[in-house]
Amino acid sequence: MSMTDPIADMLTRIRNMNAVGGREVVMPHSRIKQAIARVLKDEGYIGRYDVVRRGRFPVLRVYLKYTREKEPVLNGLKRVSKPGCRVYTQKSDIPWVKYGLGSVVLSTPHGVVSGKEARALGVGGEILCEVW
């Protein structure tokens, strides 16, 4: 069975595992998912990630991050641009998430980057998701 929105599936898996206090999330691998995981790691929302060759197809394993009080570092994920309604932004209109406390993940000509990095590069692109 084919999946219509693999990025939404990735975010939902992370959101669900975060809600139950799990340590790792396993999902089918793709380059865009790996790029999003890299941005989440660079921004400090997840501990680490790795690609594991298991059987015929590789899987992406994301390790979630928690505080010392066992509260999740990642409080929310929201898919913005969807297959039925793409959302693009210019470099001057990159949104702030939770008044700068969150982060936005964009797909730009320079690859998948955070909003902060896109502002520094001076590029806009497709808004994939918001994280806080």
**Per-residue model confidence (pLDDT) at position 3:** 76
pLDDT at residue number 54: 79
Among 72, 106, 77, CA closest to 91: 106
CA angle 56, 58, 63 (to 5 degrees): 145
**Residue 118 backbone phi and psi in degrees, to 5:** -65, -40
Instruction: State CA 1 to chain mean position distance.
Output: 23
Dump pLDDT digits (tens) for 33-58: 999 999 999 999 999 999 999 789 99
Cα 95 to Cα 54: distance, rounded to the nearest angstrom = 38
pLDDT at position 55 is 86
Distance separating alpha carbons of residues 52 and 54, to the nearest angstrom: 6
Contacts of 74 (CB under 8 A, 6+ apart): 14, 18, 40, 45, 46, 64, 65, 131
User: pLDDT per position in the chain (132 positions), as tens?
Assistant: 567 999 999 999 999 999 999 999 999 999 999 999 999 999 999 999 999 997 899 999 999 999 999 999 999 999 999 999 999 999 999 999 999 999 999 999 999 999 999 999 999 999 999 999
What percent of the chain has pLDDT above 70?
A: 98
Nearest to 24 by CA among 5, 52, 43, 3: 52
Give this prediction's pTM. 0.94
Amino acid at 124: G
pLDDT of residue 95: 97
95 φ, ψ (degrees, to nearest 5): -70, 155
